Amino acid sequence: MPAVPGASQEEIRRQNLGAVLRYVHLHGPTSRAELTSRLGLNRSTIGALAADLVASGLVTEEAPTTARRAGRPSLVVSPRSDRVYAHALSIDADRLRAARIGLGGRILDLREVARPGGMTAVDAVGPLADLVRDMERSVAADALLVGGAVAVTDTTCEADGRIRIAGVDETLGVALEAEFAVGPGFVAGDLADIAGLAEHVRGVAAGIDDLIYLHGDLGISAGIIVDGRLVIGHRGHSGKVGHMVVNPNGLPCGCGSRGCWETEIGEAALLRHAGRDPGDRAAVAEVLRAAADGDRTAREAVEQVADWLGFGVANLVNVVNPDAVVFGGSLRDIFIAGADTVRSRLGAMPLPGSREHLRLEAAALGRDAVLIGAAELAFDKLLADPLNVGVAGQLSADDQA
């Protein structure tokens, strides 16, 4: 690991501690020998860093269960997933979820409740805090909470029926602060951004630094990662690709505009083309199943939506020039059902330099992506400086009562 010019010995040590911890967090149990070669540090340095992380209660070190060679085997460094954890919350279109996720990305506990129609993201914070308090009752006394993050779905219907971009709203920050005042900090982010981050770190796009993650639920939103970093925009409102106008003669959109992309590729569009109630989300799976079984109306509905999907993605790849586009949420199933149509658009429309290397992928992490991504955000501070998070603090006694 190259040292920052002018960094002190102590700064370099902290940087290296972070590198070791991040490696085992992402790759799981790793031998000292492998850490030595992967991180480009010498054996004695890795040994000292691992010992420090053991002393901090962040990792364990054990002899491997099966030694492959004669001689002293290299100790295996493992993240303490059972002890070190983050709170990962998600405000989905129709449910609220809270998880405790251990270092290494392991889901230790998961609770969820329905999100009633019309409930704003801010109103959801109270019920989420209840789920968190409930989970905390079964946490061991020596467990270490390092922080939390909440993912908020793109679209929230307010009382006037208008769609608001709920993203990273100030009022949401205030509500989180009020509920988790004594605990470690909470980060809020857009659901598509966070699910995209999860696919980038642990999912189908692991190792790909330029990608577009497209998420479908009630609306359509994108998490865009360029050069390994999420594109956030002013107050986290970037990636609202569902409101990119693709059809000026199209239908009115909940945002107040007309012919937005999500009016052509959203769940409601699929249901409308299939002759179903556009508000009946449960019927999306039925339409996709009917299409797979050869039902002509359902098949045509899928083709129509897939064509618009390819059309919009072609525009996006011309703008962003990613290495991969990942389809998640309900768009995952729509992409799989209409992949040939999407691919034929992508094979023809974008500029050659934007399409020749492009991979189209179905998301790999399923509905857990959002929680796993939220935990990654929450672990960030620990991984940047492992020694500085030992006193992150727990929920206050009052909160746990």
Contacts to Zn ion by CB under 5 A: 243, 253, 255, 257, 260
Q: Closest distance between Zn ion and the C-beta of residue 265, in Å?
A: 12
Residue whose C-alpha is closest to residue 333's, from 297, 279, 292: 292
Give the integer Cα–Cα distance in Å for 100 and 145.
9
Residue whose C-alpha is closest to residue 195's, from 91, 47, 111, 315: 91
Give the integer Cα–Cα distance in Å for 151 and 384.
21
Q: Closest distance between Zn ion and the C-beta of residue 253, in Å?
A: 3
Which of 52, 262 has the CB closer to Zn ion? 262
Residue whose C-alpha is closest to residue 232's, from 194, 177, 261, 185: 194
Whole-angstrom CA distances from 196 to 208, 258, 351 are 11, 27, 24
Q: Give the DSSP H/E element, type plus range, for residue 78.
A: strand 76-79
Which of 131, 253 has the CB closer to Zn ion? 253
Q: Closest distance between Zn ion and the C-beta of residue 233, in Å?
A: 17
Which of 163, 204 has the CB closer to Zn ion? 163
Cross-strand bridge partners of residue 144: 84
Q: Closest distance between Zn ion and the C-beta of residue 250, in Å?
A: 10
One DSSP character per residue, 277-315 reads -TT-TTHHHHHHHHHHTT-HHHHHHHHHHHHHHHHHHHH
Which of 20, 270 has the CB closer to Zn ion? 270
Q: Scanning the structure block, which residue is given the tokens 């009052």?
A: 398
Q: Closest distance between Zn ion and the C-beta of residue 199, in Å?
A: 25
Q: What are phi and psi of 130, to 5 degrees?
A: -60, -40
Q: Closest distance between Zn ion and the C-beta of residue 118, in Å?
A: 19
Which of 126, 256 has the CB closer to Zn ion? 256
Which of 21, 166 has the CB closer to Zn ion? 166
Supply 43's token pair: 């054996």
Dihedral sign computed on CA atoms, order 120, 121, 124, 126: negative
Chain CA centroid to CA 27, Å: 17
Q: What are phi and psi of 75, to 5 degrees?
A: -65, 150
Dihedral sign computed on CA atoms, order 278, 283, 287, 288: positive
Q: Closest distance between Zn ion and the C-beta of residue 266, in Å?
A: 10
| Cβ neighbours of residue 170 closer than 8 Å, sequence gap 6 or more | none
Which of 158, 340 has the CB closer to Zn ion? 158
Which of 20, 316 has the CB closer to Zn ion? 316
Which of 215, 243 has the CB closer to Zn ion? 243
Residue whose C-alpha is closest to residue 100's, from 82, 83, 87: 87
Q: Closest distance between Zn ion and the C-beta of residue 386, in Å?
A: 43
Q: Closest distance between Zn ion and the C-beta of residue 258, in Å?
A: 8
Give the integer Cα–Cα distance in Å for 347 and 13.
49
Q: Closest distance between Zn ion and the C-beta of residue 208, in Å?
A: 29
Supply 302's token pair: 């899928």
Which of 158, 177 has the CB closer to Zn ion? 158
